[in-house]
Amino acid sequence: MKLTIIGCSGSFPGPQSAASCYLVSQEYQGRTWRIALDLGSGALGPLQKHIALEDLDAVCLSHLHPDHYMDLTGLHIAVKWRPGGWPAERIPVYGPAGTDERIAVAHGIDPQPGMHTEFDFRTWSPGRATQIGPFRITPVPVRHPIEEPYALRIEVEHSEPEGSEAAESAGGTRVLTYSGDTDTCSGLIEAARGADVFLCEAAYQDGRDDELQGIHLNGDRAGAAAAEAGAGRMLLTHIPAWTDAQVVREHAAKRYSGNIAVVADGVTYQI
């Protein structure tokens, strides 16, 4: 499973990155499957550096704040008005209840039919896994001031071709957990339990935003969550332009002894 960082700026696009969007890909049944975790403000442009939009198999939304879903409006235009017509089926969009109405209102169109002619809207059921090609995705409720915020646990059965040197040791399930936006909560630990990679938001700067609770993590709380969950590696993301990523990383490392990196636009990780 590959994770490519499309956008990682917290709350709004920054000078170096779009807002939240992460491309996950996996070879399966003779082709490459690709899903986007969130499609936040400014993400649609850099996404096209990595894939053709018609190759996107699904969009999976963590919650309905604009920095996580607003570029669905641009994707809608690309699908609806592509010269020669859209060559693929309607794009499945998984998200909280009311995603279809929220994005239609944001785009200034009547919710009926809204974007249903371009997107196949599907509503998450908390704690219930959904299969999209090779990806088993479980939405887990977390703590953020909006209705239905989720962390997303993505599991893929991994194997090497028979006869390869790596085949014997490479089998098993690979797990990527994406925190979405959240503060400390039991759901976050549940979603990240034993994950190979924990893609974790840390929007607040330690020592500056410590009094802010119930909205986002800081480095200290993100590191503590990764340690409690037993995650194999932590990737810090959703860091706004006004937050010092190095301060966040240093505080996370005081609580979590595993490998830590601050993600950057365009970087790909193998899971």
Predicted local confidence at residue 242, as pLDDT = 97
What band does 158 get if pLDDT is binned at 50, 70 and 90? confident
CB proximity list for 95: less than 8 A, separation 6 or greater: 59, 60, 61, 64, 69, 121, 122, 123, 124
Total number of domains constituting the chain:
1
Are the beta carbons of 117 and 93 closer than 8 angstroms? no
**Residue 160 pLDDT class (50, 70, 90 cuts):** low
Angle between helices 99-107 and 72-81 (to 10 degrees): 80
In tens, the pLDDT along 93-152 reads: 999 999 999 999 999 999 999 999 999 999 999 999 999 999 999 999 999 999 999 999
Residue 231 CA to residue 136 CA, distance in Å, equals: 18
Amino acid occupying residue 219: G
- Beta bridge partners, 152, equal 139, 178
pLDDT tens-digit readout, 172-225: 999 999 999 999 999 999 999 999 999 999 999 999 999 999 999 999 999 999
Supply the mean pLDDT for the chain: 95
Evaluate if residue 169 carries a pLDDT over 60.
Answer: no
Mean pLDDT of 152-169: 68
The CATH code of the domain that includes 190 is 3.60.15.10
Residues spanned by the domain of 109:
2-270
Distance of alpha carbon 27 from alpha carbon 13, whole angstroms: 30
- Supply the pLDDT for residue 154: 98
3-state secondary structure of 220: helix
